[in-house]
Structure formats: C-alpha cells, structure tokens
C-alpha cells in the first residue's frame, strides 16, 4: 500500500480551487456587470472591445463637431432672414420716397433707410464663430470633421453680406429712389441665393448627424455584446460553482479523514 500521497485529497483540492476560481470570476462579473474585466478574461474580445470603444469616442467627438457646424450655419441662416427683412423694409421706404416730394418726409425716410443699412452691417459683423465673423468677409470657409476617418471633413463657404457688399452704401432714396429699388431687388436675390446655399450646408450636416447617431447606437450595441455580462446566467453559475466548491471541499475532508483512520488502524495493528 502506498500512503505517501493522498490522491483523492489532491483531486478534491484541485477541484475545490477550480470551482473557487470560477465562483470568484462569476462574482466579479455580477458586481461589475462586465464579462471581460481584464485582458486575460478574453484577449481577442478585449481587443475588439478596445477598437469599438475608440470608434465610439471618435464618433462622439465628431458629433460635437457637427453640432458646432450646425450651430454656425443656423446663426448665418437667422442673420440672413433678418437682413432680408431689413431689405424689405428699405424697399418699402424707397417705394414711398419715389412718390414723395416733401423734403422733410424724404429726410425722415432717408434716416430710417440709413438705420436699416447700419443694422445690416451690424448683423453681418456680429454673426460670429469662435470670435470670427462669418458674414463680413473675414471668414470665407469653415471646415468641419464630419466622420472619424482622417479625410472625412467638409468645408462650408460663407459670403460677406454687409451693406457695402450688397451695394447699399451710396443709396439715397431722397434723390434716387428708383435706383435704390433696383439695387435692393438685386440684394434680395443675393440673400435668397445665400440662404439656399446655407440651407444646403445645414441639410448635409443634418445627414451626417443622423449617420453619427446611428453609428454610435450600433457601436454601443456591439460593445455591449462583447463586454456585458449575462447577470442572470452568472448568478446561476455562481450558485453552481459554490455548490461544487463545497462538495469538493467536503470530499477532500473525507479523503483526509479516511487516510487518518487507515493510518490509525495500521498503527493499532503494529502496537498490538
């Protein structure tokens, strides 16, 4: 009989350690809600999750960029609407002046006309992005990163819409109302065309915003599929592993007890 190695106890100890480690893993997954808590849990899965996380972060930043671009375009659109309103009022004043001969009335009309002209330039000057005007000629284009690839950006052009650039600087409705009307009509067409361009800018950004939102949703789902633990399954696993650990421990105790009893029995035979 070989008694130097208690194989039953060793097998039981190994099993107990195995189920203890499995129970610890299940417990960790339940507490963190992650299936992968370190690279060793799933090396390839961790690599995929890291890539997905990087793309998620990039799309989130891209979405911020797109929102900034949309905000800038909407500023310009709102300003163009205001300028169109000013031009409409100026045209009304010019039409009125064309049928007026009273010098005082003409002077009053001209004063109102001049105020609108100043307002147009003010609106153009103070429609800014990061401190730079988008409508006075100082900033002619804005580049927006609309995707996560290095070259996935779009440049949006902006034109000056000051009174001077619209040809309104020297208009005097008290002396040349007809000329003013024609010039204002041309300016209105310019603003309408500009609004159409800005609308196209905003629509493109809206499309890319939707795309980024969809990509974030898809990537979040994919990341969850790789990283998230099935808490219900892990709870069942934990209970199972704990039972097996306890069973292995009980068997190990029994194996050791049997060995001790056998040794005691043999010693009793020798001493008697």
Over residues 182-197, mean pLDDT: 96
Looking at domain 43-227, which CATH architecture does it have? Up-down Bundle (1.20)
CA distance 87 to 128: 21
pLDDT of residue 30: 86
CA distance 167 to 185: 11
More confident residue, 67 or 243: 67
Q: Are 195 and 76 in contact (CB under 8 A)?
A: no
Given a cut of 50, whether residue 256 has pLDDT beyond it is yes
Over residues 13-23, mean pLDDT: 73
Element (H, E) at 129: strand 128-129
Indicate the average pLDDT of the chain.
87
Q: What is the pTM of this model?
A: 0.74
Given a cut of 50, whether residue 3 has pLDDT beyond it is no
CA atoms within 13 A of residue 254's CA, in its CB half-sphere: 9
pLDDT of residue 186: 97
Place of tokens 């800005």: 198
The confidence band for 159, taking pLDDT boundaries of 50, 70 and 90, is: very high
Over residues 92-112, mean pLDDT: 96
> Any idea where the domains of the chain sit in the sequence?
7-33+229-271, 43-227
Given a cut of 70, whether residue 79 has pLDDT beyond it is yes
The pLDDT tens digits for 199-216 are 999 999 999 999 999 999
Over residues 102-112, mean pLDDT: 96
Percentage of the chain lying above the pLDDT 70 cut? 88
Beta partners for 129? 132
The pLDDT tens digits for 42-53 are 899 999 999 999
**Residue 51 exposed, middle or buried by CB count within 10 Å (0-12, 13-18, 19+):** middle
Most confident of 95-104, 122-131, 133-142: 95-104
pLDDT of residue 6: 63
Given a cut of 80, whether residue 246 has pLDDT beyond it is no
Percentage of the chain lying above the pLDDT 90 cut? 61
Given a cut of 60, whether residue 254 has pLDDT beyond it is yes
């Amino acid at each position: 009989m070989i008694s130097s190695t208690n194989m039953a106890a060793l097998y039981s100890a190994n099993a107990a350690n195995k189920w203890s480690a499995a129970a610890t893993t299940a417990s960790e997954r339940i507490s963190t809600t992650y299936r992968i808590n370190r690279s060793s849990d799933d090396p390839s899965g961790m690599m995929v999750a890291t890539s997905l996380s990087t793309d998620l972060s990039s799309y989130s930043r891209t979405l911020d960029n797109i929102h900034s671009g949309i905000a800038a375009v909407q500023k310009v659109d709102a300003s163009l609407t205001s300028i169109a309103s000013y031009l409409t009022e100026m045209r009304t004043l010019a039409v009125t002046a064309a049928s007026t001969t009273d010098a005082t009335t003409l002077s009053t009309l001209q004063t109102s006309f001049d105020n609108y002209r100043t307002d147009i330039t003010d609106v153009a000057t103070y429609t800014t992005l990061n401190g730079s005007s988008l409508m006075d000629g100082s900033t002619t284009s804005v580049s927006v990163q609309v995707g996560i690839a290095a070259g996935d950006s779009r440049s949006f052009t902006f034109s000056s819409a000051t009174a001077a650039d619209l040809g309104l600087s020297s208009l005097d409705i008290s002396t040349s109302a007809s000329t003013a009307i024609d010039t204002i009509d041309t300016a209105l067409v310019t603003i309408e065309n500009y609004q159409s361009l800005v609308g196209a800018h905003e629509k493109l950004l809206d499309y890319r915003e939707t795309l980024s939102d969809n990509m974030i949703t898809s990537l979040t789902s994919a990341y969850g599929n790789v990283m998230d633990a099935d808490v219900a399954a892990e709870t069942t696993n934990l209970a199972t592993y704990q039972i097996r650990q306890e069973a292995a421990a009980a068997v190990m105790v029994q194996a050791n007890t049997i060995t001790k009893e056998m040794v005691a029995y043999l010693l009793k035979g020798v001493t008697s």
